[in-house]
Structure 1
Amino acid sequence: MRALVWHGKHDIRCDSVPDPRIEQPRDAIIRVTSCAICGSDLHLYDNVIPGMERGDIMGHETMGVVEEVGPDCQGLKRGDRVVIPFTITCGECEQCRRGNFSVCERSNRNKGLGDKAFGHTTAGLFGYTHLTGGYPGGQAEYLRVPFADRTHIKVPESLTDEQVLFLSDIFPTGWQAAVQCDIQPEDTVAVWGCGPVGQMAIRSAVLLGARQVIAIDRMPERLSMAQAGGAIPIDFSAESVVERLNELTHGKGPEKCIDAVGMEAHATATLDSIYDAVKQTVMLETDRPHVLREMMYVCRPAGVLSVPGVYGGVLDKVPFGMAMNKGLTIRTGQTHVKRWTDDLLRRIEQGQIDPSFVITHRIGLAEGPAMYKTFRDKQDSCIKVVIRP
């Protein structure tokens, strides 16, 4: 089969690789009908998250049709149409029973690495480093799904691939980011980053009844999309984020703040961003946490910071004393996808939201390597890429 394969920093290739096969009784093999490039994949493209190995297959936003099932894979059959969550879940461990699917205790087959890196292992993830299991990803013609009886979302034929594909990651990720804020009708919610997750977080905050949603970015097409979804845009390259937020909140700051940027913040004109760039270059810091610092500063006392943006390692000069003294609540985590998808699928079916609004580019696998660079460099107004293998 063909797949998009990691060969090193900024080196993704469309290679021929062996077809996946059933390895465990609860496995299934999916013929991929649609997949996507995620902003999180760019951290791997830039090689800023450890644990990738040459030859790893990329991708964790995938859907398709079941081709084969293992003998113990209950509830799935050949021909079923499914979306595959990026988090692999056994459905039986203590964390899964509590609905904490992104920290499944059994699905990371490299548990020793996970324990060493994080103190305790987290769930296995598709296409996302050997720290989370080293599982082949879904930017391919076929995908092996471990624990497939639990790691799937059945979708109706009445909905298109593009309407449901993002149930695999970015829609529940944006939704969880907003839910973690405990949004009240009088709240202002500020969202840093108007990429795909930020766009979903913005619309989720609107659906959850926020009084005012504010979108912070510097790309005109992303700010325009956010504004179309009900947000007030702030272009951080043209105006002061702090001053504008104070103006919009009568000097009190937003009650709820969402970091949909993560470890590669692109602020360039501030002292802390220059400091981060230097320290990252000499490998004394792994992440650039400008957005976290700014959120801690602007958030209203007793507010909430929700962090769906991916962080990979060690941060420097994060003003934790500021967060503590202001009484801020910080909520983070990879997404517990299956916790949210029944509700979100219902909302799609009822027409409350069509997640396909975020798609700007549609390509085949062979165009994938070039599109990684286009997406990473924010060229051609690229916001979300869907691949049809």
Structure 2
Amino acid sequence: MKALCWEGINEVAVEHVPDPTIQNAHDVIVKVSLSTACGSDLHLLTGHIPFMEAGDVIGHEFCGEVVDVGRAVTKHKPGDRVVVASFIGCGSCWYCKHDQWSLCDNSNTNPGHTDLLWGASPGGIFGYSHAMGGFKGSHAEYIRVPFADTTAFRIPEPVSDMSALFASDSVPTGWMGADLGGVQPGDVVAVWGAGAVGQMAARAAQLLGAERVVVIDRFDYRMKAARDAFGVETLDYSQTDVGAELREMSAGRGPDVCIEAVGCEAHSSGPQYVYDQVKSKLKLETDRPIAVREAIQACRKGGSVFVLGVFTGWVDKFPLGALMNKGLTVRGAQQHGQRYIPMLLDRIALGDVHTDYLATHVLPLDEGQRGYDLFKKKDDGCLRTVFRPASS
């Protein structure tokens, strides 16, 4: 079959790779109908995520049709349309039973890497390095889905594949940020990043009752998409003092909840960007936590900061004094998709959440390099590149 593979820094290529097969009684094989490039995939391209090998199939946000099932699978049969959580959950370990699915104890087959790096191993994820299990990714014609009864979800009949696609990762990730960030009715919520995850976090905050939601970015087309889709307010951080604006919007206090949806390659127009660029190039820090710093500084006393963006290692100039003296709650996580996906599919079916507008560029897999170039460079108003493997 054809698959889009990581070949090195900023290089992907379509290759012929072996078809997946049932390896465990709880597996299913899915024929991929749609797979999208996620912002966290860009960290693979730039080399921020270690333990990648040439020829690794990438992609983790996808939907498709079940074509084969293992003998222990009870919830799926050939012909079912399914959307698959990007993180694989076994359903039986302590973490899965406590709805912390991205921390699954049994799905990461290479725990040694992350045990050393982070002190513990998270769960496995499709197409996201050998440190996260070494699973083949979804930018392919077919994919093996382990623990399918707890990782794949049947798509309701009224929901199109394109709408369901983003329930694989973007929508539950954004919802988690608002939910675990503690958004309450009447809150002022600020979201750093107007990509798909940031926009979904903003919509989740609205549905959880926030009185005012502000999205912070520098790309006009992304901020316009957020305004047009959900009526949120936006701030261009390159043109204004974000902290001062947010205080003005929140009776002088600052936002009740701040959600960081940018990650380890954050950009800034100030001197801290130069500082972080130099430090990272000298290998004195691994990530650029610019948006996290800003969120902590902006958040009201006693407020909550949730980190949704992907980080890999160590950062510098972390505002620990502000966190402690302001009495902030700071949390972070990879997405616990299984906790949210069934509810979100129902909301998509009802029209509470709409997602298909995110698919600005739909391409065959053969145009994988072009698709990733558009997405990375934010050319031609690209919110998300979506691949149709079957049309390649």
Instruction: Give the TM-score, by structure 1 length.
Output: 0.98
Aligned to 1:236: 237
Residue 157 of structure 1: CA displacement? 2.9
Question: Partner amino acid for 2:245?
Answer: R
Asked whether the equivalents of residues 156 and 349 of structure 2 are also in contact (C-alpha less than 8 Å), the reply is no
Amino acid at match of 2:266: A
Q: 2-side partners of 1:84 and 1:242: how far apart? A: 38
Instruction: Give matches, 1:329-340, under 5 Å.
Output: 329-340=329-340
Whether 1:36 aligns to 2:36 is yes
Structure 2 unaligned runs (5+)?
none
Task: List aligned pairs for 1:127-142, cutoff 5 A.
Answer: 127-142=127-142
Counterpart Cα distance in 1 of 2:24 and 2:8: 30
Kept in 2, the 8 Å contact 1:303–1:329? The answer is yes
Query: In 1, distance between residues paired with 2:76 and 2:224?
Result: 41
Is the contact made by 1:117 and 1:131 (CA closer than 8 Å) also made in structure 2?
no
In structure 2, the residue matched to 1:256 is: 257
Superimposed CA distance per residue, residues 27-61 of structure 1 (whole angstroms, 9 cap, x where no aligned partner): 11111111100001000011111111111100001
Deviations 1:131-158 (A, max 9, x none): 1101000010000111112210111232
What amino acid does structure 1 have at the position aligned with 2:185?
Answer: P
Which residue number in structure 2 is paired with residue 350 of structure 1?
350
Unaligned runs of 5+ in 1: none
Select between 31-40 and 220-229 the one with higher mean Cα deviation.
220-229
Match of 2:309 in 1: 309
Match of 2:146 in 1: 146
In the TM superposition, residue 118 of structure 1 has moved relative to its aligned partner by 2.0
Q: Distance in 1 between matches of 2:71 and 2:118?
A: 34
User: Residue deviations 1:136-189, cap 9 Å, x none?
Assistant: 000100001111122101112322101111111000000001112222222110
- Match of 1:114, SS state, is helix
- Give the match's secondary structure for 1:149: helix
| Distance in structure 1 (CA, Å) of the matches to 2:293 and 2:99 | 30
Deviations 1:2-38 (A, max 9, x none): 1110011001101111111111121111111111000
Q: Could you tell me how far 1:130 is from its partner in structure 2?
A: 0.9
Q: What is the deviation of 1:113?
A: 2.0
Aligned residue in 2 for 1:123: 123
Query: Does the 8 Å contact 2:25/2:70 carry over to 1?
Result: yes
Shift of 1:368: 1.3
Cα distance in 2 for partners of 1:224, 1:66 equals 37
Whole-Å separation in 2 of the counterparts to 1:73 and 1:109: 20
Distance in 2, matches of 1:358 and 1:26, equals 32
CA distance in 1, matches of 2:343, 2:117: 33
Any conservation in 2 of the 1:108–1:114 contact (CA below 8 Å)? no
Between stretches 341-350 and 296-305, larger displacement belongs to 341-350
For residues 52 and 100 of structure 1, what CA distance do their matches in structure 2 show? 26
Task: Show the 5 A alignment for 1:61-140.
Answer: 61-140=61-140
State how far apart, in whole Å, the 2-side matches of 1:66 and 1:262 are: 33
Percent identity for Structure 1 against Structure 2: 45
* CA distance in structure 1 between the aligned counterparts of 2:197 and 2:144, rounded to whole angstroms: 26
Write the mapping of 1:192-203 to structure 2, written as runs, cut at 5 A: 192-203=192-203
Matched residue type, 1:95: Y
Aligned to 2:294: 294
Measured in 1, the distance between the counterparts of 2:266 and 2:77 equals: 43
SS of 1:380's partner is: helix
How far is 1:225 from its partner? 1.2
Paired amino acid for 2:249: L
CA contact (8 A) 2:110 2:131 kept: yes
Q: 1:238 corresponds to which letter in structure 2?
A: Q
Q: Deviations over 1:265-300 (max 9, x none)?
A: 111x31211100001111111100111111111110
Does the residue aligned with 2:374 lie in a helix, a strand or coil? helix
For residue 363 of structure 2, what is the aligned residue in structure 1? 363
Conserved? CA contact 2:117–2:313, under 8 Å? no
SS of 1:202's partner is helix
Q: Which amino acid aligns with 1:266?
A: H
- Local SS of the residue matching 2:151: coil
Number of positions where the alignment pairs a residue of Structure 1 with one of Structure 2: 388
SS in 2 for 1:150: helix
SS in 1 for 2:8: coil
Give the TM-score, by structure 2 length: 0.97
| Pairwise CA RMSD | 1.0
Runs in 1 of length 4+ with deviation above 4 angstroms? none
Q: Give, as a single letter, the amino acid of the residue that structure 2 aligns with 1:317.
A: K
Distance 1:366 1:157 in 2: 29
